[in-house]
Structure 1
Amino acid sequence: MVHLTIDLIAKSRNHFKKKRGLSFPEYLKTLTHLHFSSKNIEDIGDLSMCRNLTVLYLYDNQITHICNLGFASNLTHLYMQNNNITHIDNLSNLQMLSKLYLGGNRIAVVEGLEQLSELKELHLENQRLAPGEKLLFDPRTLLSLAESLYVLNINNNNIDDIRDLAVLKELQHFSAADNKLHNMEELEDVFNHWPQLLQMDLSGNPACKKPKYRDRLITVCKNLEVLDGREINELTRQFLINWKASKEAKKKKNNTHALTPLIPYPLTNDFNMGQGPHPGQIYSHASMQKWKPQQSLRAQKLKIPMSGLLNHVAIPSAICSHMDA
């Protein structure tokens, strides 16, 4: 079992020349970058003498737990992809951490990042999950990253729903390729919450095969520059936005016309036509002959002929047939 310790650093040829002119403890205090990738390291030991460490490369090892990094309050970049890590923990003291690389591990739940207020990039692609398992997100972690996270990579993690990610309103680069995203309406709703989005990759998802997939996302993401590796032409975007606006305006107009109420019978009582037949009642021919509309005083004063008056009153077709008879 290989442990990353001060002794291992001392034995490393990468640091041999740098030690000349300085004692080893003095050198460790000046150390800012530590390269120990592909060394079969399984555990992180006591590195507290490297108090000014800012970048730590530990990718392509056999590490199972993140530990003993509490001293590294100046750490800004941590590369631990392609290890055997199952949980994200022991990072709360890394207040300056801005880029975290954890792709290719065995992480099932994204959690333990609540204290990382400076985190701008989070890379979690290609987790080696159990069959049927998908990458999940702790709502507390997402909420804590809402104001800081600019880049999120969750490629190939069996994810079928990203609605919980809507709180990440500062995202500029989003990669979720080779997942199981399929609901276009849900995707559009999430992307409406990301006004800063510039680049996005959803290739390899079922949603990509939906009609008008690319057109719909371009109209939703107003500042998007690259979608699935293809640049977006600004003229194309404006055309699609104008076309969508025109289509919605036409739909709204049609709905307004459909909802316009019909004027009930009788049309008006301004002429005081007297007691007439009820439009919902069936009348015999004899009864219709007895009923004769009487001209009102107002109609008489206006000298409107009775025949002309009837032309201004809407009479149901059923009644008209009787009258014609």
Structure 2
Amino acid sequence: MQCDRFNAFRIHSDASGYRAGFEHIGLDDLTPGNVTVRVAWSSVNYKDALAATGRGKILRRFPLVGGIDLAGHVVDSSDARYRSGDAVLVTGCGLGETRDGGYAEFARVAADDVIALPAGMTLRETMILGTAGFTAGLALLRMQQNGQHAGLGPLAITGASGGVGMLAVAIFARAGYVVHAISGKPEHADFLRQIGATEVLPRTTLPAQSRALESVRFGGALDTVGGPALATLLACCAPYGNVACCGLAASAALESTVMPFILRGVSLLGIASTDTPHAQRMAVWQHLASDWRPHALETVATRAIDFAQLPGIFAGYLAGQAFGRTVVRVAGDA
């Protein structure tokens, strides 16, 4: 295994300050793991930009390799489930937060966090989805497990121009739901319709204040913004519909009443993608590779960058200039 020294994008915070950049490190510098992966592809998420720049308190230990997603091939494993040459992926599971992540030519990961490459997908395609697509898929899985079905009415998706929201539009539509995309960026309306939205609604659709109950408008929702938008979605959700919450782009606060819950049986579902049990992870990825697979993944505004370009990508994410998914060709192949 030729990996004595390899390239990694590493983040430090010490007496010399907060800094990040490429370094040559060895396997022994990585956090422990019983599966070693040669990383082919990773992706860029808003959380990665926060971690790389120090704009958000993402990392729980230092130094650490960034990147919350990775896909590649096993080069060594002490777990019988995985053999050298197996194509695998890992999303979340502490990567880039408590464990060294995907921004390195090699990674050491726990076998229980590893997902075998789903049939019919390439490694690159799994990173177009990445944590963002997995989060959207997990939300749909939990909603369906709690009784969501197309007959309840359209599904609203807030923050539909963002990474999770955009992929949720494509995934939910592919799964057979009517999707109403809610976005504050009208310039993206045509694109959102192209990937599956039946209607594209302005952000003002969800007012800053709502009554305890509003007229039913949606059968359910995926909310990525929090705050008043989430409260309004609860108030206008159909009886026994589900509102899945996975973000706080606008606010971490929630001012609501119990009325949607006790009068309409609405459920508020928390979507925490980082530590999802392995069986649920597998179920989500199996759906994403088959009946929930977005049509033409490459149409989801995807761009690929080489590993060397990674440090220059984060500022655009923090400035709100990024649109679509960015995949990182670490040692890219299919």
- The two structures have a TM-score, normalised by structure 2, of 0.26
**Which is higher, the Rg of structure 1 or of structure 2?**
1
Richer in strand (by share): 2
Higher RCO, 1 vs 2 (CA within 8 Å, ≥6 residues apart) = 2
- The two structures have a TM-score, normalised by structure 1, of 0.27
